[in-house]
């Protein structure tokens, strides 16, 4: 369903009786989209997403057995009802003076998407991550389109992607691993699995000097160089060596060019403050035996640029938490993987620690940040935590 101007409430109903006293309902109202189960006029929330409605918003609701999948714009969620409603009809509802357009009702699609050929999946391996990509799949001839791709590693669910690629940041150095990739359509059908075996990861924390990286590209089959290691180190590391004469910082080990422009400094009392910097890192691409890989992100200020004081990214493998990734204002990244009662620190030359119990990032001068702002699931920096309040050791606050 395509909506007109979003001024009120809009609902799609499924398995509804004539007066909507019993049904499933997908409703946009008041800055959110909610999935409800209605039984004898009693509404129960099944799933909920924050959402800002606008002209042309598309709502979709698919009910298949007890599985209810909802879409609105880029947001999607699936809920499994253990006691599903049976029978009933589809329907819609709008508040007065509002409108809907292009309303479509159809049967459940039972045809799975096209299989992904395992031979078509390419990958690139570094000590901290494995990047995978594959040709886009397609839905069946009577389908309404793909929803996403679902990725497992070693039988553990990693996540889903709207695009045919995945970056796995949960690996550790060592032996072989295996990925399973499915294409999923908008009615919940899965393609046959594509199983991809990755031979081995590499030495943890190894950085490849820039000169050796060039020789590897010129002689990709030369056994002298041994296994591929990381040739990307962005930002200005605390233990790095840099050269530059006009504000640029060239990493003498990796060859990365960093350029940071302090745009503003949020000031507290006693001349204490926090700098927000616009930073550029040149190492946005990598070329190896798997092809050419885009490593940079556009988080709102251009590809390769960031504007922040700092951030924290939690990294999960299935239901197991692995570590936090701390990024400073220059874009330099540090793994916080030393756990002491859920307080996480690093051995990579940065003396910050993140108290996950209180969601607070601490610094050596006694200042700390409350990390309560999180990027949405559809953003390139999805799941990243940013500061909502900063405080120095004397209690002065910035928020």
Highest mean pLDDT: which of 97-106, 219-228, 354-363?
Answer: 354-363
| Higher-scoring residue by pLDDT: 97, 198 | 198
Q: Mention the CATH class of domain 2-101.
A: mainly beta
**In this predicted model, what pLDDT tens digit does every residue of 40-49 receive, in sequence order?**
999 999 988 7
Strand pairing class (338-340; 343-345): antiparallel
Q: Which residue in 235, 179, 252 sits closest to 350, CA to CA?
A: 235
pLDDT digits (tens, 9 = 90+) for 284-297: 888 877 888 888 88
CA 380 and chain centroid, separation: 6
Mean pLDDT of 29-38: 85
d(CA 163, CA 178): 20
pLDDT at 222: 55
Mean pLDDT of the chain: 84
Rounded CA separation 32/23 (Å): 20
When pLDDT is cut at 50, 70 and 90, the band that residue 370 belongs to is: very high
pTM, two decimals, is 0.75
Cα separation of 271 and 262, whole Å?
Answer: 17
The three-state secondary structure class of 269 is helix
Distance CA 325, CA 296 (A): 16
Residue range 298-326, pLDDT digits in tens: 888 899 899 999 999 999 887 788 899 99
Q: Which residue has the higher pLDDT, 125 or 30?
A: 125
Higher pLDDT, 202 or 376: 376
C-beta separation of 387 from 398 below 8 A? no
Higher model confidence: residue 149 or residue 205? 149
The continuous run of DSSP H or E covering 59 comes out as strand 59-64
CA separation for the pair 167, 170 (Å, rounded): 9
- Whether 187 and 144 have beta carbons less than 8 Å apart is answered as yes
In the predicted model, what is the mean pLDDT of residues 354-369? 95
Distances, alpha carbon 49 to alpha carbons 67, 96, 135, 139, in Å: 17, 24, 30, 26
| Mean pLDDT score, 274-288 | 89
Cα separation values, 380 from 180, 247, 299, 306, Å: 23, 28, 6, 12
Determine what percent of the chain is predicted with pLDDT higher than 90: 37
pLDDT at 140 over 50: yes
* pLDDT for 219 beyond 60: no
What is the average per-residue pLDDT within 365-378?
A: 88
> Which class in CATH covers the domain with range 118-198?
mainly beta
Which band of pLDDT confidence, cut at 50, 70 and 90, is reported for residue 188? Answer: confident
* Residue of 297 and 172 predicted with greater confidence: 297
φ and ψ at 210, to 5 degrees? -60, -40
Task: Check: CB of residue 36 under 8 Å from CB of residue 20.
Answer: no
Q: What is the mean pLDDT of residues 29-52?
A: 85
pLDDT the model gives residue 399:
79
Domain spans of the chain, in order of start: 2-101, 118-198, 210-398
What confidence score (pLDDT) does residue 391 get? 92
Segment 70-85 mean pLDDT? 81
Helix (H) or strand (E) holding 212: helix 210-218
**Predicted local distance difference test score (pLDDT) of residue 345:** 95
C-alpha 106 chain-centroid distance: 32
Strand, helix or coil at 217? Answer: helix
pLDDT at 173: 62
How much of the chain exceeds pLDDT 70, in percent?
87
**What's the pLDDT at 383?**
87
Tell me: pLDDT of 1 over 50: no
- pLDDT at residue 207 above 70? no
Predicted pLDDT at 22: 95
Asked if pLDDT for residue 218 goes beyond 60, the answer is: no
pLDDT reported for residue 121: 95
The answer to whether 290 and 124 are in contact (CB under 8 A) is yes
- For the cut 70, the answer to whether the pLDDT of residue 225 exceeds it is no
Contacts (Cβ under 8 Å, ≥6 apart) of 181 = 116, 121, 132, 134, 149, 150, 151, 152, 166, 193, 194, 196
């Amino acid at each position: 369903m395509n909506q007109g101007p979003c001024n009120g409430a809009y609902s799609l109903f499924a398995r509804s009786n004539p007066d909507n006293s019993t049904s499933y309902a997908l409703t946009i109202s008041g800055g959110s989209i909610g999935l409800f189960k209605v039984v004898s006029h009693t509404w129960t929330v099944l799933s909920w997403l924050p959402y800002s409605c606008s002209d042309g918003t598309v709502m979709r609701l698919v009910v298949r057995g007890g599985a209810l999948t909802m879409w609105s714009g880029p947001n999607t969620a699936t809920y499994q009802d253990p006691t599903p409603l049976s029978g009933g009809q589809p329907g819609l509802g709008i508040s007065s003076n509002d409108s809907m357009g292009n309303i479509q009702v159809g049967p459940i699609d039972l045809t799975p998407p096209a299989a992904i050929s395992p031979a078509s999946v390419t990958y690139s391996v570094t000590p901290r991550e494995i990047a995978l990509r594959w040709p886009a799949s397609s839905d069946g001839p009577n389908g309404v389109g793909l929803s996403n791709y679902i990725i497992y590693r070693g039988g553990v669910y990693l996540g889903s992607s709207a695009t045919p690629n995945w970056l796995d940041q949960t690996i550790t150095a060592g032996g072989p691993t295996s990925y399973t990739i499915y294409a999923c359509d908008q009615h919940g059908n899965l393609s046959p699995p594509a199983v991809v075996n990755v031979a081995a990861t590499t030495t943890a924390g190894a950085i490849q000097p820039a000169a050796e990286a060039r020789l590897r590209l010129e002689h990709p089959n030369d056994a002298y160089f041994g296994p591929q290691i990381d040739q990307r180190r962005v930002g200005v590391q605390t233990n790095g060596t840099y050269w530059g004469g006009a504000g640029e910082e060239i990493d003498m080990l990796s060859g990365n060019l960093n350029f940071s422009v302090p745009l503003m400094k949020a000031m507290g009392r006693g001349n204490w403050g926090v700098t927000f910097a616009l930073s550029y890192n040149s190492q946005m691409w990598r070329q190896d035996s798997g092809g050419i890989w885009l490593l940079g992100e556009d988080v709102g200020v251009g590809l390769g640029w960031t504007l922040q004081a700092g951030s924290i990214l939690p990294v999960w493998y299935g239901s197991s938490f692995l570590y936090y990734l701390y990024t400073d204002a220059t874009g330099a990244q540090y793994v916080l993987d030393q756990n002491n009662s859920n307080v996480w620190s690093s051995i990579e030359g940065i003396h910050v620690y993140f108290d996950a119990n209180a969601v607070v990032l601490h610094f050596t001068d006694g200042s700390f940040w409350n990390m309560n702002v999180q990027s949405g699931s559809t953003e390139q920096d999805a799941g990243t935590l940013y500061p909502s309040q900063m405080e120095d050791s004397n209690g002065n606050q910035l928020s």
